[in-house]
């Protein structure tokens, strides 16, 4: 699956079960009506319980200069969850799941459905709020390496 070039996202949650986040490329838009996307999360991760209990998540699509953040939430640095969320980069949209202020896009979602598939959970989220930024390049992941892709200039 490393041959798929994919955008890189940090997916977060917050609520009674705590504040968590992870780096994901297995994110996909599903439908516009109602606006829905999905996120896959390994069941081996304890985080899935928190996502389910909180019932909300925010998908933060990263810009090319946010590679360090991607590495941090992919557990490639030793930074603990609490310290990650102490960085001065977070804001809150409708659901309360942490949004990355300078991400390309934040999709703030309420979990509408959950499906177990093999080793993973698939969370379907109805988009409650979208926050877009004008940034010049997107962060991509291809062949297990981060890459930058320049954006087409908005008209």
Chain positions contacting a copy of itself, by CB under 8 A: 1, 3-7, 26-38, 40, 42, 61, 104-105, 113, 115, 117-120, 122, 124, 132, 138, 140, 142-143, 145, 147, 149, 151-152, 154
Q: How far is the CB of 107 from a copy of itself (least distance, A)?
A: 8
Which of residues 47 and 84 has its CB atom nearest to a copy of itself in the complex?
Answer: 47
Which of residues 12 and 84 has its CB atom nearest to a copy of itself in the complex?
Answer: 12
Which of residues 17 and 49 has its CB atom nearest to a copy of itself in the complex?
Answer: 49
Q: 89 and 62 in contact (C-beta within 8 Å)?
A: no
Alpha helix (H) residue ranges in the chain: 47-54, 67-73, 81-84
Residue 105 phi, psi (nearest 5): -155, 145
Give the torsion sign (CA, 71, 105, 53, 24): negative
């Amino acid at each position: 699956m490393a041959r798929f070039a994919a955008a890189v996202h940090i997916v977060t949650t917050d609520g009674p079960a705590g504040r968590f986040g992870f780096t994901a490329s297995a994110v996909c838009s599903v439908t516009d009506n109602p606006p829905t996307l999905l996120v896959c999360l390994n069941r081996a991760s304890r985080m899935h319980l928190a996502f389910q209990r909180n019932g909300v998540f925010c998908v933060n699509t990263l810009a090319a200069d946010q590679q360090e953040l991607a590495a941090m939430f992919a557990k490639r640095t030793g930074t603990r969850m609490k310290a990650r969320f102490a960085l001065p980069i977070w804001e809150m949209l409708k659901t309360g799941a942490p949004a990355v202020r300078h991400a390309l896009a934040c999709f703030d979602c309420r979990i509408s459905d959950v499906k177990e598939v093999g080793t993973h959970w698939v969370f379907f989220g109805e988009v409650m709020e979208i926050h877009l930024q004008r940034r010049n390049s997107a962060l991509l992941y291809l062949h297990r390496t981060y890459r930058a892709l320049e954006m087409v200039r908005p008209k």
